[in-house]
Structure 1
Amino acid sequence: MIKRILKVAAINLALLLVLAAAAELLFGTWFSKDPLDQLGLPRSTRTIVSAAPLYAGGGDFVYRRDQWGFRGDVDPAKVSILTIGGSTTNQLYLPEDQTWQQVLERQFRDAGRTDVVVANAGIDGQSTVGHLQALRDWFPHVPGLKPRFVLAYVGINDTQVSGTWVDTLRHHSFNRIVKQKSALFRLSRQITGMVVASRARLRHDAVDYTAAKWTETGAQPVPSGDSNVEQYRQRLKLMADEIHGMGAVPVFVTQTRGDFKKVGGKLMGMVTETGPNGVDQYNALTPYNAATREVCREHGLLCLDLARDLQFGDGDFYDYLHNSPQGAEKIGRWLYSKLAGLV
């Protein structure tokens, strides 16, 4: 009896393995020659994200990446403005219609410019190292993609270039390669459709700004002679060359954070229990914003100086650097005021 049960179990297991192998061969991308299948891009995904713990009015919504890797569902041939950046561009915890890209597109549409389509190619954690890789290995393989402008929202992630897959656009671990190429994993991800909350909070913890304490003094020595700033400058130049090669106009946008502010002309930074405080973050980011301005000035490129020109207030950030819908609304409207006469 036991032998018979084991035999039936073995046959069923073998059938399942055969079916799984067949499914992987038919629907997986193990042997695909599509260049996009060789990249570590989130594509054709739908997950449910909960923003409830992060800001007032936040709830559950569907986060989508289309078959080309863009957020939402975009016809590449209709894209006028392609936006690249890290998590502050992706805006994982904002519904699509509340991202600054959609605010910007609505501003154009309300002005009668229904032809302006803004695409979101932001990837969490990606620096200009990854943006350069995307310009070379991702966007050229998206059929029909010929944007008039490529807007790069850059600076913050370059203060700590990670060198991980988000910058190489290549998965190096076996586990991630399987996740990228496996049809069964893709199916299971679509069925579950849920971003694990504990994982999400590792990078997106809500900050209570009403209870925050502020200081004029940094917790760490002021950095000097950061060699990565010069490397950042070189990458911006290379990005501009790649964007021009696409037939588009490069637009570089400087960045700011929520954990520092100017009060009566004085810099104030948010106090932290450990590590760098807001003043330290300002000191780390400022050379990168300065480098962005310098590169644009030296090479005749368009720079939109958000870090200097746009003032944020209470409720505009839900953590140290990610905007709430209220903050994203400000960014979208400000960008429109700068681009309306150019696009």
Structure 2
Amino acid sequence: MPKKLKLILTNIAILLIGILLIELCFGGWFSSSNQLRNLGIIKDAKFEFDVSHLYDTNTPTITYTRDKFGLRGISTYNQPSTINILTVGGSTTDQRYLDDSQTWQEILEHELQKNGKNLHVSNAGVDGQSTYGHLKSTDIWFPKIEKLQPKIILFYVGINDFYTVNGDSKYDDIQQVENGGFKSNIKDKSALYNAYRKLKGMQKATKFEVGHRNINFSRVHYTKEVVVNEKLLEIYDEKNLKAFKTRIQKLIAYAESLNAIPIFMTQPTLHFKIRKGVVFGTEEIKYLEEKYAYNGLGYFKLLNKLNDAIREVSASELVIDFTNDETWNIMDFYDYFHMTPIGAKKLGKKIYTELDKRNLVK
């Protein structure tokens, strides 16, 4: 065998052995903990973060804690049997840079207790998750939490699904969710695939400015002029909404399998603001897939298409609309999507009011 060929084959063999060792050590093939970690589930951890660069606060160092089951919550810590309300969503549910005591879940629980309703709230938010990821949680994560039997599941969804357009169809293929299979199993368990997925997600978060950062809203210009590519509207109507509705239906089915009430909350963002019934959107034009233009009002239009899709498959009384709430302001957010402690407090109180008004918490 020629020396050059032998060298190439030797290097390939070393590379394959290295990949195998990485997968065996860090993949979820034999360890459910590794599988959950690869899917972004943090377990049994406590972090301290300096948040002074994100928003004004008298306590710049906050504590972020996850229990051994991967859940956030002070009163429910390591006690899943005490959870009455489980909250599911992405980074706006997780609230990575709010203290354990400042999340909207803790505010909601405080309001419940203050009004004589002895209910406990737990946070199952995962940074970056869309409804596709939430379905993975119901399949891979939640069944591993013994005695998890919430009475209500609050799904805080919409924003992360906004960016799922035609080019992401392979990742968001609903048949993968419905049928699973060999390919889906590899994606769930492979350490290398999930490292690639996370890097891709970080790149996407930077591109669409959904990562955590401070925004000086005094420099953001708003307009009443709508910019949204007609082809993008067509893609949403013909492809995205159909798959999104199927995922929502499956989340409803999961909640009902636990005899829990599935409640969906639509999401606010400062890409637009509503004043006296008039909607103003951010003026800056952005692009999906490098070719579909939209501005803040286009975003508002598309996000409400997702919200309407939720209403089509869920009981109207089980959908709480925060997207079209006029009271959100720049004190509530430190970037376009993530809330300050002030915003989280406002949201927690609003959620309590809406649940109580619907007679869902007793």
Specify the alignment match of 2:97 in structure 1: 93
| C-alpha displacement of 1:264 | 4.1
Match of 2:284 in 1: 272
Give 1:182-221 correspondences, 5 Å limit: 203-221=211-229
Q: Deviations over 1:222-241 (max 9, x none)?
A: 53231111111111111101
Residue 60 of structure 1 aligns with which residue? Answer: 61
2:143 corresponding residue in structure 1: 140
Match of 1:319 in 2: 335
Q: Distance in 1 between matches of 2:326 and 2:143?
A: 33
- State the identity as a percent: 32
Question: Is 1:329 equivalent to 2:360 in the alignment?
Answer: no
Partner AA of 1:213 in structure 2? H
Q: C-alpha deviations, 1:76-102, integer Å up to 9, x for none?
A: 000000000001100111111111100
Residue pair 1:250, 1:301 contacting (<8 A) in 2 also:
no
Aligned to 1:48, what secondary structure does the other structure show? strand
Q: Are the structure 2 counterparts of residues 246 and 64 from structure 1 closer, same or farther at C-alpha, using a change threshold of 3 Å?
A: same
For residues 268 and 210 of structure 2, what CA distance do their matches in structure 1 show?
Answer: 21
Counterpart CA distance in 1 for 2:191 and 2:139 is: 23
| Distance in 2 (alpha carbons) for counterparts of 1:284 and 1:30 | 37
- CA–CA distance in 2 between the matches of 1:52 and 1:262? 29
Contact 1:219/1:277, CA 8 A, preserved across alignment = yes
From 307, 310, 320, the equivalent of 1:292 is: 310
Cα distance 1:219–1:75, how it changes in 2: closer, same or farther (>3 A)? same
The SS at the match of 1:151 is strand
Q: Secondary structure at the match of 2:215?
A: coil
Q: Secondary structure of the equivalent of 2:43?
A: coil
What is the distance in 2 between the residues matched to 1:318 and 1:36?
Answer: 33
State the alpha-carbon separation in 1 of the partners of residues 32 and 271 from structure 2: 40
Q: What is the rounded CA distance, in whole Å, between the counterparts of 1:140 and 1:209 in structure 2?
A: 42
Root-mean-square deviation (CA, aligned residues, Å) is: 2.9
Counterpart contact for 2:227–2:285, Cα < 8 Å: no
What pairs up with 1:1-343 in 2 under 5 angstroms? 35-39=32-36, 40=39, 41-57=41-57, 59-72=60-73, 73-113=77-117, 115-161=118-164, 163=171, 170=188, 172-174=190-192, 203-222=211-230, 223-225=232-234, 226=236, 227-272=239-284, 275=287, 276-297=294-315, 302-309=318-325, 311-340=327-356, 341-343=359-361
Tell me the amino acid that sits aligned with residue 306 of structure 2. Y
Amino acid corresponding to residue 109 of structure 2 in structure 1: E
Distance 1:272 1:156, change over 3 A: same
Q: Is the 8 A contact 2:274 2:325 kept in 1?
A: no
Q: Could you list the per-position Cα deviations for residues 244-297 of structure 1 after superposition, in whole angstroms to 9, with x for gaps in the alignment?
A: 001211111111211201234332112337544322221221100111122224
Q: TM-score normalised to the size of structure 2?
A: 0.73
Gaps of 5+ in 2: 1-23, 178-183, 196-205, 288-293
**Structure 1 spans left out of the alignment, 5+ residues:** 1-24, 178-197
CA distance in 1, matches of 2:140, 2:286: 39
TM-score of the pair, normalised by structure 1:
0.76
Q: Deviations over 1:141-197 (max 9, x none)?
A: 101110001110011111123649xx98836343967xxxxxxxxxxxxxxxxxxxx
| Matched position secondary structure for 2:256 | helix
1-structure distance, mates of 2:30, 2:114 = 42
1:270 and 1:128 mapped to 2: Cα distance? Answer: 26
